[in-house]
Structure 1
Amino acid sequence: MMKKKVLLFADFGIDDIMAIIYAYFEKNVEIVGVVAEYGNVNKKTAIRNAKYIQRNTGRYDVPLIGGAERSMIGDPPIYYPEVHGPEGFGGFVIPEDFQEDDNVFENFHQIYDIIEKYDGELTIVCVGRLTSLATSFILYPETVAKVSEIYVMGGTFNFPGNVTPVAEANIYGDPYAANIVINYAKELTIFPLNVTQRAILTADMVNEIDKINQEKNNQLGTIIKPMMDYYWQFYKSQIPTIPGAPLHDVVTLWGIFNENEIEYELKPVRVVTSPGSAFGQTIGDFRDFVQLAEYPVHRIAMDFNYDSFIQRVTEVLTVELNNQRYR
């Protein structure tokens, strides 16, 4: 199987950081660019977090692009330190020797260059707010049309939201941007909360991953436990019986090369952009009718093979992480 060439859009909180660590060591994925934007943390922190992972993987060959700093709604973004920690790394504290430089990351045009470079071969995976991706659709429609496929972690269908009773965080953070992507994207696959919420890395699995990485003295591997423990504590405060924290963004990345392990449905989709209690809700028309709503039709993940997912993620975060650490 050919490696999937991925341009990753993320707002580097815990599950995004887990996703990029996973992606760098997953042999089926080749990250060819990273867009860091506001979302779980502000843009400046997101870029700094991406740089820290860059330093610890040595992947300076992968362009780092500054994405959106604020949403299309026009209101100041709301951040969630209780979920991802004040810095986005949960309980892990970035060492003091890691100095961030003050380079202004307004290099968004590099998205255009990357799409052109991998014309027809590129997979976009967006696991944060959709603001930067939507901006690409507005500025470079002909170029974005050359992307082979787009995967988005966001929304929730016939399942409660996590920010409001009906809305999921990535969509709620900028429903206007989500509406642009839903209306204009071709070959769009959505990994919604109702699926990703089940991609749980249990506390026992985290301890096992940590034990192996501690034994190997793997600096990158040992940040996983303090992040995931913090994440689990948040989830436990909301869902006391949950055995661990879900890897929303990791399962979306894993999904791009595991077609046979996922159940999909093609359904009409729309996003509620009008203010009120349904703001940011994703609506899928799942009626058993011949004639469904005339919304854009997209592919929605409905279920996945949990055992296969967990087995591969654990393998990558232990074996692959240590086999390839100095590449």
Structure 2
Amino acid sequence: MYDKKKVLVISDFGIDDIVAVLYAYYSDTIEIVGIVSDYGNVSKESALNNVKYLQGLTGITDIPVIRGAVSALTGAQPQFYPEVHGISGLGPIIPEQIELDSYEISENFYEINALIDKYAGELFIFSAGRLTSLATAFVLYPETMKKVKEFYVMGGAFHVPGNVTPTAEANFFGDPYAANILIQLAPKKIHLIPLDVTMYALITPSMIDSLHEYYLKSNDKVGQIIKPMVDYYYDFYKKTYPDISGSPLHDLLVIWALADGEKMIFEEVPIRVAVNTGCTFGQSIGDFRQSKEKAPWRVHKIAKQFNYGQFITEVFATFKSGSSRQFIKEDK
């Protein structure tokens, strides 16, 4: 069997983040080898509690969990979004607070170095939340970060409105300083998947109902948490965008693209992030002009198109695979 892609997930563990992680759980092409638990949709503590909840649900406890940032480089207190992701980040699901031992609450962000060294040249970083921890790694460990094979980041809004302000997407708005550091210091071109495409990664209620029926028949307790979470997410989107036909699972689209980079069409564009306070705070800006003269900014890969039919077919085939739990590391 071919080697699965080794992935370090940096996440604030809201609904779409968790669905993306569960996609990896069922996938035979992705192997999560580490998790950075971050603030964002919920607090860092709640995100860590969600990781422990998933460990208990899946029985998988051997993947390193690294504690990430608690707040943004801007110095502002983070704003959480219970109306979008629920109080704990799991929609209507409220897991019990899990008792942590002294090791589990210690600051261990430095452990990202050993993980990257272990998988040097083959590790993918998938960033599903605020960019504070990833930016910090670029500042603290620039040589180590050169050993990462590829970066896949959900963030930004270029040709579409933002989802927090008229101009800014949540992950960039949550810490524009970090987003700008990422753009400026990344040792290679980032695969950036913005709202321009993720808003079209729609999962309809009928799709979720069919998937849930499958999990009930197969008595898959892990898969059964997907429907209540996505239904909660859809309720929010339906109130905000009355004509929307389903839930846009932003992070699920990103990890699906990571599984096979040829599935997404990218455009290489010079980009910047607005960091001045005001109405453009957190705005992602790309120089999409067709002229030869371009802004002297760092060039990265911005997703511009994907095959929706292929996305739906492959995602649900993976969720219904029901075979071995590929989320478990094989190299003990």
* TM-score greater than 0.5 by the shorter chain: yes
Deviation at 1:92, TM superposition (A): 2.1
d(CA) in 2 for partners of 1:323, 1:117: 24
1:288 is the counterpart of 2:311: no
The answer to whether the Cα contact below 8 Å between 2:31 and 2:327 also exists between their aligned partners in 1 is no
Per the alignment, residue 215 of structure 2 pairs with 213
The answer to whether the Cα contact below 8 Å between 2:190 and 2:301 also exists between their aligned partners in 1 is yes
> How high is the sequence identity, in percent, across the aligned residues?
49
Per the alignment, residue 101 of structure 1 pairs with 100
Cα RMSD, aligned residues only: 1.5
The answer to whether the Cα contact below 8 Å between 1:21 and 1:53 also exists between their aligned partners in 2 is no
The answer to whether the Cα contact below 8 Å between 1:221 and 1:318 also exists between their aligned partners in 2 is no
d(CA) in 1 for partners of 2:140, 2:327: 38
Per the alignment, residue 34 of structure 1 pairs with 35
Per the alignment, residue 190 of structure 1 pairs with 192
Deviation at 1:151, TM superposition (A): 0.7
Per the alignment, residue 199 of structure 1 pairs with 201
d(CA) in 2 for partners of 1:69, 1:56: 25
Deviation at 1:105, TM superposition (A): 4.1
d(CA) in 1 for partners of 2:325, 2:181: 39
Q: Deviations over 1:25-65 (max 9, x none)?
A: 21111111000100000000000101111222222121011
Q: How many residue pairs align between the two structures?
A: 324
The answer to whether the Cα contact below 8 Å between 1:40 and 1:84 also exists between their aligned partners in 2 is yes
Deviation at 1:313, TM superposition (A): 1.4
d(CA) in 1 for partners of 2:128, 2:108: 20
Answer 1 or 2: higher relative contact order, Cα 8 Å, separation at least 6. Answer: 2
d(CA) in 2 for partners of 1:317, 1:56: 16
Q: Deviations over 1:4-34 (max 9, x none)?
A: 1100100011001111111122111111100
Deviation at 1:80, TM superposition (A): 0.4
Q: Deviations over 1:116-168 (max 9, x none)?
A: 11111111110100000001011101101111111100001111100000100
Q: What SS does the aligned partner of 2:39 have?
A: coil
Q: What SS does the aligned partner of 1:20 have?
A: helix
Report the TM-score, using the length of structure 1 for normalisation. Answer: 0.96
Per the alignment, residue 43 of structure 1 pairs with 44
Q: For 1:280, give the aligned amino acid.
A: G
2:315 to 307, 313, 316: 313
d(CA) in 2 for partners of 1:237, 1:105: 40
d(CA) in 2 for partners of 1:86, 1:278: 28
Deviation at 1:261, TM superposition (A): 2.1
Of the structure 1 ranges 308-317 and 282-291, higher mean CA displacement relative to structure 2 is found in: 308-317
Q: For 1:196, give the aligned amino acid.
A: T
Report the TM-score, using the length of structure 2 for normalisation. Answer: 0.94
Q: For 1:63, give the aligned amino acid.
A: P
Q: For 1:187, give the aligned amino acid.
A: K
Q: For 1:118, give the aligned amino acid.
A: Y
Q: What SS does the aligned partner of 1:256 have?
A: helix
Matches within 5 A, 1:108-119: 108-119=109-120
Per the alignment, residue 80 of structure 2 pairs with 79
Q: What SS does the aligned partner of 1:6 have?
A: strand
Q: For 2:184, give the aligned amino acid.
A: N
Matches within 5 A, 1:166-185: 166-185=167-186
Matches within 5 A, 1:247-286: 247-286=249-288
Per the alignment, residue 238 of structure 1 pairs with 240
Q: What SS does the aligned partner of 1:283 have?
A: strand
d(CA) in 1 for partners of 2:98, 2:149: 37
1:138 is the counterpart of 2:133: no
Of the structure 1 ranges 299-308 and 56-65, higher mean CA displacement relative to structure 2 is found in: 56-65
Unaligned runs of 5+ in 2: none
